[in-house]
């Protein structure tokens, strides 16, 4: 049964809206507390792991934000906002955000590829464009190489993915056995 039908059946429009607003305030406070509890629970659960502190902080904040957004959608649904249009608005916002962060997303997915495919390992000597050095770190966003002059060069993974990379480490790649 909808809120409008209850108000029409009882003839108490003001009381129905007052109840609706009180329920919205209660749900907003509840979801705010649940979001804070979720963030603390994520941080406590990951403190004993070897996860990077920045990743733990980011994960906690993402969980906090997701719970708050769920609460916002719930409250707006009670107030009579169409949830389909609200979700479409979030979709458009997500599309705009992904277009705005296109380069970061390219580097992130290229970093995932590099971490799974492993065309070079930490310690290998590689050449990317004009930079020759030993790989110190392969992260989600960038690859760090140290040159012979002891200069740390940080190359975005999207560039590593798109450019020709020469692996100069002399590592022998095992060949597939062929039976003649």
Exposure on the CB side of residue 146, measured as CA atoms within 13 A: 7
Q: Which domains does the chain have, with CATH numbers?
A: 3-100 (1.10.287.1260), 108-167 (2.30.30.60)
pLDDT of 54 > 80? The answer is no
User: Is the pLDDT assigned to residue 157 strictly greater than 60?
Assistant: yes
Whether residue 146 contacts residue 136, with contact meaning beta carbons closer than 8 Å, is answered with yes
Q: Which of 62, 88, 63 is nearest to 73 (CA)?
A: 88
Give the model's pLDDT for residue 28: 93
Residue 136, pLDDT score:
92
Average pLDDT for residues 75-98, to the nearest whole number?
86
pTM of the model: 0.54
Q: Which of 23-27, 115-119, 152-156 is predicted least confidently? A: 115-119
72-85: b or e for each residue (b if 16 or more CB lie within 10 Å)?
bbbbeeeeeeeeee
Q: Residue 26 pLDDT > 90, yes or no?
A: yes
């Amino acid at each position: 049964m909808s809120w409008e039908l209850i108000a029409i059946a009882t003839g108490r429009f003001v009381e129905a809206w007052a109840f609706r607003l009180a329920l919205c305030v209660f749900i907003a406070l509840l979801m705010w507390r649940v979001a804070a509890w979720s963030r603390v629970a994520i941080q406590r659960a990951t403190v004993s792991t070897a996860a990077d502190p920045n990743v733990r902080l980011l994960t906690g904040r993402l969980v906090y934000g997701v719970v708050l957004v769920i609460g916002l959608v719930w409250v707006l649904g009670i107030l009579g906002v169409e949830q389909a249009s609200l979700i479409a608005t979030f979709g458009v916002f997500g599309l705009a955000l992904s277009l705005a962060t296109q380069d970061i997303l390219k580097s992130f997915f290229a970093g995932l590829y590099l971490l799974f495919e492993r065309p070079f390992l930490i310690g290998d000597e590689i050449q990317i464009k004009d930079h020759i050095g030993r790989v110190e770190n392969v992260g989600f966003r960038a690859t760090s190489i140290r040159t012979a002059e002891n200069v740390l060069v940080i190359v975005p993974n999207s560039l590593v993915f798109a450019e020709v990379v020469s692996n100069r480490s002399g590592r022998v790649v095992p060949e597939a056995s062929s039976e003649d």
